[in-house]
Amino acid sequence: MSMNNVGRPTRPEASNDDAGFNSLSGGRGLLQDEPLIFELGGWTKTGVDLPDVVPADSALAGLTRDEPIGLPGLSEPEAVRHYVRLSQKNHAIDLALYPLGSCTMKHNPRLNEKMARLPGLSDIHPLQPQSTVQGAIELMDRLAHWLKTLTGMPAVALSPKAGAHGELCGLLAIRAAHEAAGNGHRKTVLAPTSAHGTNPATAAFCGYTVVEIAQTDDGRVDLADLEAKLGDHVAAIMVTNPNTCGLFERDVVEIARLTHAAGAYFYCDGANFNAIVGRVRPGDLGVDAMHINLHKTFSTPHGGGGPGAGPVVLSEALAPFAPTPWVVHDENGYKLVEEAVGPAAQAFGRMSAFHGQMGMYVRAYAYMLSHGADGLRQVAEDAVLNANYIKARLSDLMSPAFPEGPCMHEALFDDAWLEDTGVTTLDFAKAMIDEGFHPMTMYFPLVVHGAMLIEPTETESKAELDRFIEALRLLAQAAKAGETGRFKNAPHLAPLKRLDETLAARKPKLKWKPVAPAPLAAE
Amino acid sequence: MRFTKDHEWVVVEGDIATVGITAYAAEQLGDVVFVEVPEVGKTVAQGDGLAVVESVKAASDVYAPVSGEVVEANAELGDAPETVNAVPEAGGWFAKLKLSNPAEVDALMDRDAYEAFLSTL
């Protein structure tokens, strides 16, 4: 017989060296410790050959830079590897479930991306003659039609570029309507204690004073408190429905009635529209303005993956004040109304230089067409079903913040179940990273102690939810069994350990400084 | 020392009230990383926002437990917000108010009443 003398071992040898193992270089299982690109790149190196600068008289009147600009110089493979390595350390919806409550981190369908890359929709410019981009403008008009139909509202401003920008658009329309009616003295906005932080921030930005509405024990707006705080000084209320506790505001119609009776407008924060899309039309509930996060409900990327888009639907009362531009069409085709004249004279202004996030309009419209009305209805049903499955399967170990009745699209737990374990919500969230799962939203809403807000979205299969739930159950049991070491310094297995958030906030390093300043290349 | 349900404390000497947040509040906030104290001369009514305290977890308003005019603010908190955690009911005070309605103080809770209130939370 012939012998193979290479002697390569093919089976792992028994060893106890794994515990507390650290690599010699700081690398980790084919993942390298990644420096800043400034630390990586040499000052005098460049990845491309540039022609020599032709000497010329400077027109900068003595303002010529006399210090190195400090851009890192890297070759193409160095630059590519740096960013790919960084991307490997990042979490993304394309890697795994992303259960951040209030964020609706759903799958971004590849069909959306394919449509957004069609040359007729991607290789165009906002300043092109409108006759050359009729298809794109028609798409905006059709998207507007879907948004108006799904919400039961007569008008929509497409241009706001994110949720909070949409809130600003809605409140500016409300302010314009009040001022047009001689009600400019209304300077108060009411918002529940559980509101997204952007609500009071937006109101304050518009010059309003914010007053909080109390919450009932079952996590809803306290009607008596609302009624007591409404009055001739109130411009609007801002209510999220379903609210940030993941609960439907059962009294929303009464909330709208009381608000309108007091002469105020009802702004609905539509961040949680995913829970009711296709099933509830906010217009039927008495809403006057609501933003729609295309990057949540309608599956366009976000969380680092792409820009947001926050169109705002408006009621009959607010429609005349909608910002320009919007789309009209007649026998000559489609046209963007850009000037606040004629029928558009009451427009309060505009929200952006051009018409908004065209690429997101295409993706959202592709999502609508691929799902259809029945598919969108099922989105809401499955999102709610998934959240209730998580709530039901974890409620014996963890404490749901509002145990009574079903939740909507989010399962909310408090930290009562962690009492006496020495483990906090933060510890638990960090330990989830070691188990391979991105943490849920924590410590929000503020009205729930040690809140853990889980939003699975309709994207996840039962098998994936079961894996997630099983990991959380094991962790919860470990916490209750006193395995605090597992939690206190978690994450143990991430590229970076627990950060000192306090130190980072008290003594922030806002600017990287070179170790030693490099001189200008002598020429 | 008198207390509010929003976890502010107030100590009155003459017509000057020193205001801060309670040890319970400081504990609940976690590590304080930033404090915005009011400007001297500002007039506040009871319940108005007086200061802002920001921890790693959240930013919170500190309400004026009594009405009055700000006569002094604790400037040290700007550089040393951790003082609020270390000695919340002493050196971590936020502002001193010249009382405009001293009767408001009497309506606030004493230590026993505040402790009893805390036990209901």
Q: What is the number of other CB atoms lying within 10 angstroms of the CB of residue A6? A: 5
Question: What chain A residue is nearest to B47 in terms of C-alpha separation?
Answer: A211
Continuous H helices in A300-406: 358-394
DSSP secondary structure of A99-113: -BTTT------HHHH
Give the C-alpha distances (Å, rounded to integers) separating B2 from A405, B64, B91, B92. 41, 13, 16, 16
* Beta carbons of A501 and B34 less than 8 Å apart: no
Calculate the alpha carbon distances from B21 to A274, B4, B76 in Å: 40, 9, 16
- Which residues, including other chains, have CB under 8 Å from residue A312's CB and lie 6 or more apart? A156, A157, A160, A166, A169, A170, A173, A289, A290, A291, A292
Q: Which one-letter DSSP state was computed for residue A122? A: H
Strand partners, A188: A209, A234
Topology of domain A111-368 in CATH is Aspartate Aminotransferase; domain 2 (3.40.640)
Instruction: Report the complex ipTM.
Output: 0.72
B56/A502 Cβ within 8 A: yes
> In chain A, which residues touch B (CB < 8 A)?
443, 446, 501-502, 505-506
B27 touches chain A (CB under 8 A): no
So what's the pLDDT on residue A56?
79
CB A289 within 8 A of CB A312: yes
Are A259 and A230 within 8 A, CB to CB? yes
Do you find a cis peptide bond into A242, omega within 30 degrees of 0?
A: yes
Strands (E), A79-233: 155-157, 188-192, 209-213
DSSP string, A57-94: ---STT----S---PPB--HHHHHHHHHHHHHHS--TT
How far, in Å, CA of A395 to CA of A385, rounded? 15
Q: Which residues pair with A73 in a beta bridge?
A: A42
Half-sphere exposure of A328 (CA within 13 A, CB side): 10
- CA dist A323 and A168 (Å) reads 11
CB contact under 8 A, A446 and B58: yes
Q: What percent of chain B has pLDDT over 70?
A: 100
What single letter denotes the amino acid at residue A457? T
What distance in Å separates the CA atoms of residue A388 and residue A405, rounded to the nearest whole number?
Answer: 10
In angstroms, how far is CA B68 from the centroid of its own chain?
13
What confidence tens digit (pLDDT) does each residue in A261-292 have? 999 999 999 999 999 999 999 999 999 999 99
Residue of A501, A503, A507 to mutate, testing the B interface (most B Cβ within 10 Å of its Cβ): A501
Is the CB of A501 less than 8 angstroms away from the CB of B56? yes
**pLDDT (0 to 100) of residue A520:** 56
Taking only the tens place, the pLDDT of each residue in B69-94 is 999 999 999 889 999 999 999 999 99
Give me the residue spans of the domains in chain A. 111-368, 372-494
Mapped to the 3 state alphabet, what secondary structure does A447-467 carry? CCCCCEEECCCCCCCHHHHHH
Residue B56 with chain A: CB contacts under 8 Å? 501-502, 505
Find out whether B53 and B84 touch, Cβ atoms under 8 Å. Answer: yes
Query: Looking at residue A20, what DSSP letter applies?
Result: T
Q: Decide if A200 contacts A227 (C-beta within 8 A).
A: no
In this complex, do B31 and A501 lie within 8 Å of one another by their Cβ atoms?
A: yes
B31 interaction partners in chain A (CB closer than 8 Å): 501-502, 505-506
CA triple A143-A197-A294, angle to 5 deg: 15
Q: Which neighbouring-strand residues pair with A312? A: A157, A291
Reported as a single tens digit per residue, the pLDDT across A318-353 is 999 999 999 999 999 999 999 888 888 999 999 999
Note whether B72 contacts A: Cβ–Cβ < 8 A: no
Residues of B in contact with A194 (CB under 8 A): none
Those residues of chain A that have pLDDT short of 70 are 1-5, 7, 15-19, 43, 304-305, 515-523
Distance CA A440, CA A455 (A): 8
CB contact under 8 A, A502 and B81: no
Task: Set out the domains of chain B in order of their start, with CATH numbers.
Answer: 2-101 (2.40.50.100)
d(CA A258, CA A293): 27
The neighbouring-strand residues paired with A266 are: A237
Half-sphere exposure of residue A411: CA atoms within 13 angstroms, side-chain side: 23
User: DSSP secondary-structure letter at B6?
Assistant: T
Overall size of chain B counted in residues: 121
Chain A residue whose CA is closest to B80 = A506
CATH topology of domain A372-494: Aspartate Aminotransferase, domain 1 (3.90.1150)
Q: Do B56 and A446 touch (CB under 8 A)?
A: no
Gap between the Cα atoms of A491 and A151, Å rounded: 43
Best of B31, B56, B79 to disrupt the A interface (most A CBs within 10 Å) is: B56
* Conformational region of residue A324, where left means phi above 0, alpha means psi within -120 to 50, and beta covers everything else: beta
CB contact under 8 A, A502 and B31: yes
Residues in a beta bridge with A308: none
DSSP for A418-429, written as a single string: GTTTT--HHHHH
CA distance readout (Å), A233 to A187, A210, A239, B118: 6, 11, 18, 34
CA distance B80 to chain A (A): 9
Contact in structure between A315 and A308 (CB atoms under 8 Å): no
pLDDT computed for residue A523 by the predictor: 43
The whole-model pTM stands at 0.87
Tell me the shortest Cα–Cα distance from B76 to chain A, in angstroms: 14
Percent of chain B with pLDDT over 90: 89
Q: Which helix (H) or strand (E) holds B61?
A: strand B59-63
Q: Is B105 exposed, middle or buried (0-12, 13-18, 19+ CB in 10 A)?
A: middle
Helix crossing, A163-180 with A198-205: angle to 10°?
40
